[in-house]
Amino acid sequence: MLDKCIARARNAEIYSWGTDLVLKLFYDFIPVEKVDGEFSKTLIIREKTQICPEIHDRVSLEEGEGIVYENIQGKSITYNLLNNPIRVRGYAAIMAQTHRSIHKITVDELPKVTDEIDQKIGSSTMLEDEQKLKLSKILKYVSGDDKLCHMNFHPDSIFVGDKGQKVIDWMDSGKGNPLLDVAKTVILLRFSSSPFHNALFRGVVKLSREILIKEYLDEYFQDKGYCEDEFKKCMLLVAAARINEKLPESEIGRLKNFIQEEL
């Protein structure tokens, strides 16, 4: 018998598990191999950085497939921003600094991010054949690398506590060009559906996200800059890879429009 659910995410529910642990119980639509992938990836990443939560067990229950993690202390950046929105610049800086620290880590054991993007684009039912061909050509021009990329890095996945930051949800992680990872963060922030139905609240959320994006990018690239054309290519690629996921129709529509306009 599971304890009371303490949090819900897009792909799982979180339950208390003993005294200092939590169970991440994945929804039925998440394939078992994806759960196994998160478990094996997290084991590798945890050995390289303590910004990744400590992982304890992989379990199969009557209720579904799960992974047992340490119970992270602190609150997500999303929670902190909702309760103190005027600190958006400070939290954007935390996001950028945390992301840069991740991108300093070299990983040989993880799959290539570009291989995953290529597979998702090739199998997509949301993209036209001509779009797939153009995207495939663009992918060849994105420089490779072996740096750790989270590929689902957004305010919900970053927890801030007294002992520093923790980053959760490493299912989509891999090795590659950090610019793809930064581009994915911008795509998530810009196009993800707002939880609010009220038009005024949605407008406030959209404005806050754009401020967060600007401050995050300014802080991330403050001392090295980047090629704008290459970054746009990365934005296109990660948007195209995301469009075939289980998303709200409104978000799929925004991603389609973006891809159509930029290709």
Half-sphere CA count of 143, side-chain side, radius 13 A: 10
Q: Angle at which helices 88-103 and 199-220 pack, to 10 degrees?
A: 50
Task: Write the pLDDT tens digit of every residue in 167-182.
Answer: 999 999 999 999 999 9
Q: What is the pTM of this model?
A: 0.93
Q: Which of 103-112, 150-159, 193-202 has the lowest mean pLDDT?
A: 193-202
Q: Is residue 65 within 8 Å of 28, Cβ to Cβ?
A: no
Given a cut of 90, whether residue 10 has pLDDT beyond it is no
Tell me the C-alpha distance between 49 and 24, whole Å: 20
- The DSSP bridge partners found for residue 25 are 13, 66
Which CATH class, in words, describes the domain spanning 75-262? alpha beta
Average pLDDT of the residues of the chain: 91
Confidence (pLDDT) at 74:
92
- The DSSP bridge partners found for residue 160 are 75, 165
Confidence (pLDDT) at 244:
86
Average pLDDT over residues 60-69: 96
Given a cut of 90, whether residue 5 has pLDDT beyond it is yes
Confidence (pLDDT) at 199:
45
Given a cut of 80, whether residue 216 has pLDDT beyond it is yes
- The DSSP bridge partners found for residue 24 are 14, 67
CA distances from 17 to 99, 170, 233 (A): 29, 20, 43
Confidence (pLDDT) at 234:
96
The amino acid at residue 16 is S
